[in-house]
Amino acid sequence: MRPKIELHLHLEGGAPPAFIRGIAREKGVDLSSIFRHDGGYAYKDFGHFLKVYEAATSVLTRPEDYGRLTRAVLEESAANGVVYSEAFLSPDFCGGGDVGAWREYLSAIAETARKAEADLGITLRGIVTCIRHFGPEKAKTIARCAAETKGDFLNGFGIAGDEMVGKPRDFRWAFDCAREAGLRLTAHAGEWGGADSVRDAIRDLAVERIGHGVQAIDDPALVDDIAEAGITLECCPGSNVFLGVYPDWASHPIEKLREKGVKVTVSTDDPPFFHTTMRTEYDRLSATFGWDETVFEEIEANALAAAFCDEETRARIAKTLKKGT
């Protein structure tokens, strides 16, 4: 199987529904309202998705729950050929923003990742992510958690959540704090908020990657700017199609952005929520746009270059990619 790099994966968003149901059962929590009869997550639109996501996450109350989650997510990623992954981690959900508690959650995640590297052959790195609809004050607390725990495992800082709440500039302090601590930066933008949202995130937060960013396609000058600046887009086409950002795969702008010289990459976002995997994403891209080995090699090269890991790790992953193709 082709080795793959994934740059945009929410750790809780990778939780298999059976895993969450199992933990809920162990803790005697009734979460039946967030599941469909066939066992999958039940939600009707993006706003509802965020609520169901938070409800599912609410049963993960201890560092060891996050250790088990990390193992479940990495097993699934490795089974789909992922050899290097960056996961969004949320101190809001892991200790409520308390740095001491966050350190314990982070240790459980990083320790599980270290073991999985040895026995599954997948390398994980973390990106602390603040949640936009929790507001700028919360984001400051989360940035401090990130700054305090930057290290070999934790390399980045970002923002997720409801893009229609607030503006990127409201989060400038948090991003400045993370940058000053040496963290690399990404922001969700242009999933729901249009091209302006992407332009604002690049200008006001000085990020080097954009989560999604696909709605930049509606502003040709912005697309040129993104290509020229070498900003990488963490595209998640299956997520966008499932949530209705685009009606079908053929309408997704990933190929148009690529043709215009934008560095695009491919990720799953929240795979069980969107009924996708990295293998499914690759198969659909191949079937829809005729992407072949050469294009996938370009995509992997983009992802490797934009990964937030140290250079030694990048060189090791480069070798793994070469061996596998």
Active centre residues (catalytic): 191
Told to check if 150 binds ligand ADE by CB under 6 A, we report: no
Told to check if 190 binds ligand ADE by CB under 6 A, we report: no
Q: Which residues of 82-120 are buried (b: 16+ CB within 10 A; e: fewer)?
A: bbbbbbbbbbbbbbebebeebbbbbebbbebbeebbeeb
Which of 3, 6, 7, 10 binds ligand ADE (CB under 6 A)? It is: 10
- For ligand ADE, which is the closer residue by CB, 3 or 253? 253
Judged by DSSP in three states, 290 sits in: coil
Told to check if 193 binds ligand ADE by CB under 6 A, we report: no
Told to check if 269 binds Zn ion by CB under 5 A, we report: yes
232, 257 Cβ separation under 8 angstroms? no
- For ligand ADE, which is the closer residue by CB, 65 or 270? 270
Instruction: Kindly state the number of chain residues that form the binding site for ligand ADE, as judged by CB under 6 A.
Output: 10
CA–CA gap between residue 264 and residue 260 (Å, rounded): 10
CA–CA gap between residue 144 and residue 68 (Å, rounded): 26
Told to check if 92 binds Zn ion by CB under 5 A, we report: no
Told to check if 91 binds ligand ADE by CB under 6 A, we report: no
Binding range to Zn ion, per CB under 5 A, among 17-25, 78-86, 139-147, 269-277: 269-277
Told to check if 300 binds Zn ion by CB under 5 A, we report: no
Binding partner of residue 81 among ligand ADE, Zn ion, none, CB under 5 to 8 Å per kind? Answer: none
- For ligand ADE, which is the closer residue by CB, 53 or 282? 53
Q: Residue 73 is inside which H or E element, if any?
A: helix 63-79
- For ligand ADE, which is the closer residue by CB, 53 or 84? 53
Told to check if 239 binds ligand ADE by CB under 6 A, we report: yes
**Helices (H) and strands (E) in the chain — how many of each?**
13, 8
- For ligand ADE, which is the closer residue by CB, 86 or 191? 191
46, 9 Cβ separation under 8 angstroms? no
- The CA-based diameter of the chain, rounded to the nearest angstrom, is 54
Told to check if 86 binds Zn ion by CB under 5 A, we report: no
What is the DSSP code string of 135-185?
Answer: -HHHHHHHHHHHHHH-SSSEEEEEEES-TTSS-GGGGHHHHHHHHHTT-EE
Q: Enumerate binding residues for Zn ion (CB under 5 A).
A: 269
Q: Enumerate binding residues for ligand ADE (CB under 6 A).
A: 10, 13, 53, 160-161, 188, 191, 239, 269-270
